[in-house]
Structure 1
Amino acid sequence: MESHRSLWLLLPRQIRACPADLAAMVALTVVVNVAVFAPVVRETPLRIPLGLAFVLFVPGYVFVAALFPEAGESPAAPDEELEGESHVNDEPFWSGVDRSGIDGIERVALAFGLSIAIVPLIGLALNFTPWGIRLVPIMVAVSGFTLIATAVAAVRRWQLPPEERFAVPYREWYAAGRGELLEPDTRADAALNVLLVAAIVLAVGSVAYAVAVPPQGEQFSAVYILTEDDDGDLVAADYPDELVAGEAAEIVLGVDNHEHRTVDYTVVMVEQEVETAGNETVVTEQNELERFETRLSHNDSWHHPHELEPTMTGDDIRIVWLLYPDEVPEEPSTENTEYSVHLWVDVEDE
């Protein structure tokens, strides 16, 4: 206990004297930045509720705290004062009390409203800067605004006498809530308290489940082929359609993973001689040319340049790239995979 007190005394006096509500806003700002930028934490759903709480409440709260450092009072006088009021020049004695501050409920309402106005304005200002509207500039700008407004609010409170400063009545709120929940006046109040707690737990649990287990979209993989143009860009055009036996053409193989999991892919490249019988295409001969393997996380893509060099000769040789997630069957074909892409080429003898 003594060691903790000694460490606390090592902090600057301004930090030790920082109001509890403003210190909580600074702490939430730090936690949100950790959740957004920390390598491990940023991959978890934790940053979604923290980010929403931050952008929808914190900037507006500290801005209101900077504007109104005074403790607020009810705009109407208590009934007891109204009954025993004394008049000076036909005015009640409490009319001279400074009511420039606002109470806690008004602060919370203004905090939400001003946050919804401040954050878009910061984004609009960033739009005209070289950084633009991106995650890192937005977080830095909103966090900087929050810290500056917090410092201004703390200084303005310190300039007031202690009895006029705004302070969050944590103890009064705790005592009132404990009395309502644990010491109800009637059985009906007790039942309503139980229902209220159950509703809050259910709502929090539902939100937590929705954040932790978001609904997955469609699950699929994709395979495609590309070529490289004169500028070095990959395009889905200018495929080779005539080759000479022994001559190779360069093709770029592409694979996309949208399976919502990490997948080990195998691509089997085969050449086929086919015949057309009515509306059906029958493979008369097939030869495997090469296999490619890769491991992709969800939403990752893989581009692999390779040489296409058929060994069969003749017209309408079909080159097929067969994509297999996880396992490859003993005899790869278009019938045992959902994903394939093909190219028709004419191959002449040397």
Structure 2
Amino acid sequence: MESDQNDLRTRLYRLRRSSLDLAFVGVLAVVGCFVVVSSRTDGSWLEPLFGLPLVLFLPGYALSVALFPTRTGVVASSGEHGAEPPTVVDGVERVVVSTVGSIAVGPLLALALNYTPLGIRLVPVMVSIAGFTLVAAAAGAYRRQNADDVQAARSVTDEQTILSRAKFALFDGGGSPALTVLVAVSLLAAGSTVVYSVADPDRGETYTEFYLLTDDGDELVADEYPEQFRYGHNQSVVVGLHNREQRTEEYGVVVTLQRVGDDNSTATETQVLHRYRTELAPNETDEDRLSLRPTLTGQRLRLRFLLYRDGIPDHPTAENAYRDLYLWVSVRK
């Protein structure tokens, strides 16, 4: 019983001692994610300070430990006494793999998010990178604890420089074959992602642009929206749509005029002024000039524009709309 307790204490001590770097990586990943996605730090020097390591180093480092858990050890010359070089990862290799792995992990996670409802947006990308780092760090801590801490490691001669060590480890057979494969695959994945992004620049976050324009006499502008209407008289507004959903979409637009309560939020009376449908191919734009005739009178009425996809419901509201816009207008007789 006492020997079991001593063994448990020993394992816990070894885990704490061998995984301090991974714990530090996990803390930095969480802090970096919070700093980048927090609106309180917009434009702050904290964003590059914590964000760049999260994107360019931390996930690759955690991944390298998970794949090659041996913490210490350096690469020996392959010709020394005819011995085979050990399959360990030294500091130079660790930095190389961490950087290359991070460069590959970030784009691949973003590419995966592109095919989910989350899309390629700041918060999902940062959270996914931080989450990947934490999972990889946990796996690395587990594997490192079970690694053979007494594995013999050979010394690198003093004459070798950092560059020669990295070259020998990565290209001259001094490192493990798995490490060379990892670096090659990471570079290939990163390069493929860049080529894919260049070849298909429009693929990314999917959304629909929904906007209002007015005619200033020479061109359509997003300014000088009408504020005064006359009851029974028509006034025009241009409703614009641009399809960035990466597929053909059928849209429905509903224009309502609402009388609202004292809280300027709850509609006490609503009348539909106009509705129409249109179908747009990917990256296609539609700008329709609508002639609106108010059917209510009063001050501070809400002229609301509701956008729907795949059909207009029986009772259109802002809550069930895909997008909505509104103007505050007055209608007099």
Is the structural similarity TM-score above 0.5?
no
Q: Which is higher, the Rg of structure 1 or of structure 2? A: 1
TM-score, with length taken from structure 1 = 0.42
